[in-house]
Each structure stands twice: as C-alpha cells, then as structure tokens.
C-alpha cells in the first residue's frame, strides 16, 4: 500500500502551467518545519472543460518535481471519479477520489441492511468516544435508516475500488472516498456507520471527504457558523480515530476537506482540531490557483491586463451557462457584478484588488471572484492565446500562485499562523 503523509494539500493546475510555484509553496512549508505533501488533483469535469487528458497533469507535476529536486512524496489524484470515467486515469494517477455522493439513498436489498445491523450490535450501544462530550447513541431505527441511506454508496465505492485495484495490476495507490457533493451534511454518527461499512467492504480508505455543515462555495470563504463547524469537525475527527481502532481501517485515515481553498474563517478550527487529536488533514484546493493566474496577468502589464478583462467580459456574458455545472457551490448576486464596460477601464491594481481574496480590502468583490472561478472555460477556449500569455507573464503569475498557497493556505491551516 502507498501511504499518504499526515499533512497533504490538493492543488489544481487547470492549464498545466503552475506546478512549479505550487511545489515551491510546499518547499516553503518544509523550510518552516512542517512537511506538507502536494497532491495534484484534476477531475474528469475539469479535464472535459479544459479539453485536456489526465496524463498531462502528471507530466506537469513530474517536471516541477524534477526541476525543484523535490525528494518528498507527491501524488496525482483522479478527482471525483466513478466507474464511467476512471479508466483514463488508471496509469497516470496514484490517488483516486471515489465519488459516491450520487449513490446516497439509492436502492439496497433489505436483507443486506439487516445483515449489516446484525454484524454491528456495537453500533446500538451507547458509545463513549474520546473527544466527544455527548456519547454517540443510535437507536435501532436511526441505525436502520442510516444503513439504508449509506450502504448503496459504500457498495458503489467497493465496485469502483475493486475495478481500480484490478486495473492497477499490483501498482499501489491511495484511496479516498468522497460524499461531499450533496445537499445535506453527514452527522458524526452517520460518519461512524459509513466507516464501519467501508471496513466491511474492504476499502482501505486513507481519506474520507464528508459533507460538512455550512456552505463551501468555490474560491470564497466559508458560509455558516464557524463555532458549529468546529464542534462537528472535532466530533468527526474523534469518530475517525475511534473507527480506525474499532474497524481496523488504515492507521493514517484522515478527513479530506473538499472545496477547501479560501475557507479562512474555519482554518483556525481545523488547525486546533489537528493539534488536539494529533491528526492530519487533506485540504483540497483547485480553482484558487487559476484565479491567481488572472491576478498575475492583470499585474503583468497592458497585454496581460487586456486578456484578464476579456476573460471577465466573456464570463459575464455567459454567466448562466458557466455556473450551471457548479450550481450547488456558487452563490453569485448578479446585481453585485460590475459591468464589463466599467471593468474595461480598470488598472491592473484595480482588477487585482477586486479579485484577490483579501477581505480587508474594500474593493474585494466575492461575486466577481466566484464568477471568474467558474469562468476557466473562457480561458480554455482561448487556447494558446491564453497559455502563451501565461508564459509571458510567468514571473507575476508564479509569484501570486505561490504566495496564495503558502501564505493564505498552507501556513494558516498547517502551521496555524
Ligand atoms: Zn469535492
């Protein structure tokens, strides 16, 4: 088995141009005394929108690793895959995020539910779990309901896991199971049942991505009650530690926080929980890097700025179409979006101030930021006109990509400062 390190950060590199500054952010972490392993993640959805193939993500990462002489682990994550689209990722990924959110609440044989409940009488006892104030106590009907709801998802994960296992022919890989792209959060007792079921299904999950309470919109801060999030996150960590021991799951099993970029208001809670439990976390980010490309372009000079403005103008014109695949993870108020005619008069500094995630800057506009977050299709359509500009503006772009990951993400989450 390939073992995922305690601290890891998922990074997304939509146009395969930023692996080096992303890795430099991890190098900064090493210098600061904490090892954070990079995992380059790209979903089938992103590849389809950009028009890229899975091996390109690994090639770009590998080049950065060689260029910087990175000797610590690194991985490439086939993000949010299922049986229908995993095959293109088999050879170029060593981390698979098995997405079974759509199987929650699916059909399941009553006999299988009964067999699970029979196998797990311990789940009906009052469980004193270290780190949770109130004991977990599922009633018979809670347990039946939870098993009926999640067993189809766990069975689907098993089918996908076994498919990958056989296709990899002995080459080791890391398994994540994700259930985050759904409307309702999973409670800590539900997480306990899910982990018991994953163990029964013989899935050696090293990360689990539940849906947490609150909204995790793309590229912007957490929307919800940070106090409630902290309670639930602590309880989830306690449940994971309990399940590792009780169900013989991989000892390094940890929580994975999806849409984890830019959730500045809950990073202190995540850091405190890691310290309290001596646990790790996988923080998954992706589009935050593409936004730094735009900021870098805007700061790089007139032609970069003109291209960044063109991306906004196109994204504004096609906002409904661009938002559709991300409907559950963006909240844009169209009335708060500046007119492209106004943006066209902006300086590079004005563009960067509106887009950069600095909540202390009064010009920061989270609606514009979310629109541009889902607007990478516009840049993808520009093809080499966009990527050539990235090369031309490489200095400004790299500086922003690295600083964002290191200063605003890795440092806050993993060092707590
Ligand atoms: Zn996700």
Rounded Cα distance, 163 and 72, in Å: 29
Q: Phi/psi at 198 (nearest 5 deg)?
A: -60, -40
Domain boundary at 225, 257, 286, which? 286
Domain identity same for 246 and 362? no
User: Residue 220 in 3-state DSSP?
Assistant: coil
Measured in Å, residue 298 CA sits from the centre of ligand 1 at 29
Residue range(s) defining the domain that contains residue 297: 288-406
Q: List C-alpha distances in Å: 141 to 12, 117, 151.
A: 42, 11, 15
CB-CB contact of 305 with 298 (8 Å): yes
Measured in Å, residue 127 CA sits from the centre of ligand 1 at 30
Measured in Å, residue 80 CA sits from the centre of ligand 1 at 7
Per DSSP, the residues of 52-107 read --HHHHHHHHHHHHHHHT--S--EEEEEEE-TTT-GGGTTT-SEEEEE-GGGTT--
Question: Which pLDDT tens digit goes with each residue over 39-56?
Answer: 999 999 999 999 999 999
pLDDT grade, residue 2 (50/70/90)? very high
Rounded Cα distance, 134 and 87, in Å: 44
Q: Which has the closest alpha carbon to 103: 42, 167, 148?
A: 148
Domain boundary at 266, 286, 306, which? 286
CB-CB contact of 53 with 76 (8 Å): no
Domain identity same for 15 and 96? yes
CB-CB contact of 84 with 47 (8 Å): no
Question: Which pLDDT tens digit goes with each residue over 285-339?
Answer: 999 999 999 999 999 999 999 999 999 999 999 999 999 988 888 999 999 999 9
Domain identity same for 304 and 281? no
Measured in Å, residue 307 CA sits from the centre of ligand 1 at 29
The pLDDT of residue 328 is 82
Q: What is the CATH number of the domain that holds 265?
A: 3.20.20
In a domain, 417, yes or no: no
In a domain, 2, yes or no: no
Q: Which has the closest alpha carbon to 27: 397, 412, 406, 417?
A: 406
Measured in Å, residue 15 CA sits from the centre of ligand 1 at 19
pLDDT grade, residue 131 (50/70/90)? confident
The pLDDT of residue 182 is 87
Q: Which has the closest alpha carbon to 299: 339, 355, 340?
A: 355
Token reading at 241? 């530690």
Per DSSP, the residues of 356-412 read S--TTSTT--HHHHHHHHTTHHHHHHHTHHHHHHHHHTHHHHHHHHHHIIIIIIIII
User: How does 49-67 read in b/e, with b if 16+ C-beta sit within 10 Å?
Assistant: bbebebebbbebbeebbee
Domain identity same for 266 and 313? no
Domain identity same for 248 and 381? no
Domain boundary at 259, 286, 313, which? 286
In a domain, 1, yes or no: no
Measured in Å, residue 272 CA sits from the centre of ligand 1 at 23
* Total number of domains in the chain: 2
Q: Which has the closest alpha carbon to 199: 246, 141, 256?
A: 246
Question: Which pLDDT tens digit goes with each residue over 357-404?
Answer: 999 999 999 999 999 999 999 999 999 999 999 999 999 999 999 999
Domain identity same for 266 and 292? no
Measured in Å, residue 77 CA sits from the centre of ligand 1 at 12
Q: Phi/psi at 46 (nearest 5 deg)?
A: -65, -45
Rounded Cα distance, 345 and 127, in Å: 62
User: Residue 333 in 3-state DSSP?
Assistant: coil
Measured in Å, residue 32 CA sits from the centre of ligand 1 at 28
Domain identity same for 44 and 32? yes
Domain identity same for 254 and 293? no
Domain identity same for 180 and 304? no
Domain identity same for 175 and 190? yes
Domain identity same for 65 and 176? yes
Domain identity same for 264 and 325? no
Measured in Å, residue 211 CA sits from the centre of ligand 1 at 9
């Amino acid at each position: 088995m390939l073992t995922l390190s305690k601290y890891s950060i998922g990074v997304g590199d939509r146009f395969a141009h930023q692996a080096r500054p992303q890795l430099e952010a991890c190098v900064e972490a090493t210098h600061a005394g904490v090892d954070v392993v990079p995992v380059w993640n790209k979903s089938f959805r992103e590849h389809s929108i950009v028009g890229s193939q899975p091996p390109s993500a690994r090639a770009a990462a590998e080049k950065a690793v060689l260029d910087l002489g990175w000797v610590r682990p690194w991985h490439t994550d086939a993000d949010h895959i299922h049986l229908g689209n995993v095959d293109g990722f088999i050879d170029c990924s060593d981390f698979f995020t098995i997405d079974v959110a759509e199987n929650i609440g699916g059909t399941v044989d009553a006999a299988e539910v009964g067999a699970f409940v029979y196998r797990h009488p311990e789940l009906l006892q009052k469980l004193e779990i270290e780190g949770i104030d109130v004991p977990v106590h599922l009633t018979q009907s809670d347990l039946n309901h939870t098993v009926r709801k999640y067993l189809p998802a766990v069975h689907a994960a098993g089918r996908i896991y076994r498919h990958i296992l056989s296709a990899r022919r002995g080459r080791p890989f890391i398994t994540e199971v994700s259930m985050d792209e759904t409307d309702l959060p999973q409670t800590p007792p539900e997480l306990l049942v899910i982990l018991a079921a994953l163990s029964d299904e013989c899935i050696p999950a090293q990360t689990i991505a539940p849906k947490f309470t609150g909204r995790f919109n793309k590229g912007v801060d957490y929307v919800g009650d940070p106090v409630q999030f902290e309670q639930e996150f602590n309880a989830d960590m306690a449940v994971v530690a309990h399940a590792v021991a009780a169900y013989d799951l991989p000892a390094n099993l940890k929580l994975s926080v999806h849409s984890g970029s830019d959730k500045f208001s809950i990073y202190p809670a995540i850091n405190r929980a890691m310290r309290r439990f001596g646990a790790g976390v996988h923080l998954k980010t992706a589009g935050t890097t593409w936004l730094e490309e735009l900021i870098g372009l805007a700061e790089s000079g007139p032609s970069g700025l003109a291209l960044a403005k063109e991306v906004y103008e196109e994204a504004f014109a096609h906002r409904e179409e661009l938002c559709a695949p991300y409907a559950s993870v963006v909240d844009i108020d169209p009335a708060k979006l500046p007119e492209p005619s106004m943006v066209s008069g902006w300086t590079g500094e004005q563009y960067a101030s509106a887009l950069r995630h600095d909540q202390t800057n009064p010009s920061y506009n989270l609606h514009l930021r979310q629109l541009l977050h889902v607007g990478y299709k516009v840049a993808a359509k520009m093809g080499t006109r966009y990527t050539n500009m990235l090369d031309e503006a490489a200095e400004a772009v790299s500086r922003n990509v690295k600083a964002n990951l290191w200063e605003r993400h890795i440092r806050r989450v993993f060092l707590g400062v």
